[in-house]
Amino acid sequence: MSQSGPSLTPAGIIVGAQGVRGLVRVKTFTETSDVIADYGPLFNESGERQFSVTLVEARPTVAVIKIDGVASREAAEALKGLMLHIPRSALPEVDEDEFYHADLVGLVAETETEGRIGVVSSLDDFGAGELIEIALDAGGAPLVCPFTMAVVPIVDIAGGKVVLNPPAGLWPRETKAKHTGPAKSGKRKRPKPVEGEGDLA
């Protein structure tokens, strides 16, 4: 039974094959890469294709998974670029001031002075704090900023956007937005979806 598009949440994107037996590497959007297979079947964006998956290996932001029916490197490579989704109904509810990182991927990124500058392409944590990555409309290298209240003062899931206040030195133009008052928190909240929830080597 297929899922409707609006009821699906991105869980990761297949970035390549792993070995010669049909395993694939997935850049995950879940809080930790080891939970991507915890929700049952995964789906494509439209919900028309269903994938039964098994976790083989978990790395910091990448999971190696086995997809039923994919048994060769060629078949695995053919899936490169496929976005995998989980049913939104499989995720526990979050508080009003919390959100899933997957909800931010694809949101429009704006600054107060320039308006739209790109879209959110990923959120990662490599051990030194969370980072938000923006694929810029102008092209070139993405803009990567700390994901804190001071730098990302507005996250508007319903409105489909985030508003940035890029730190001096990270943004090549004079686009630093005004931010009045101290941040309420040095780090944004992130729910733990395990209970209930790039091309990389």
User: pLDDT higher for 78 or 106?
Assistant: 78
The more confidently predicted of residues 190 and 62 is 62
Least confident of 40-44, 128-132, 160-164: 128-132
Check if the beta carbon of residue 146 is closer than 8 Å to that of residue 126.
Answer: no
pLDDT at 179: 34
Instruction: Give yes or no for a contact between 175 and 114, defined as CB atoms under 8 angstroms apart.
Output: yes
**Residue 25, pLDDT above cutoff 60:** yes
* Measured CA distances, 59 to 87, 112, 154 (Å): 23, 36, 30
Looking at residue 198, its pLDDT comes to: 38
- Answer yes or no: is pLDDT of 172 > 70: no
pLDDT at residue number 99: 75
Residue appearing with tokens 């909240």? 189
Whole-number pLDDT of residue 90 = 79
What's the predicted TM-score (pTM) here?
Answer: 0.57
CA separation for the pair 65, 27 (Å, rounded):
11
- The predicted model gives 156-184 an average pLDDT of 64
CB atoms within 10 A of CB 48: 10
- For residue 21, what pLDDT is reported? 94
Average pLDDT over residues 88-104: 74
192: left (phi over 0), alpha (psi -120 to 50) or beta: beta
Please tell me which residue, 99 or 126, carries the higher pLDDT value: 99
Out of 43-57, 65-79, 90-104, 155-169, least confident range: 90-104
In this prediction, residue 97 has a pLDDT band, given cuts at 50, 70 and 90, of low
Q: What's the pLDDT score for residue 126?
A: 67
Rounded mean pLDDT of 189-193? 39
pLDDT confidence tier of residue 70, bands split at 50, 70 and 90: very high
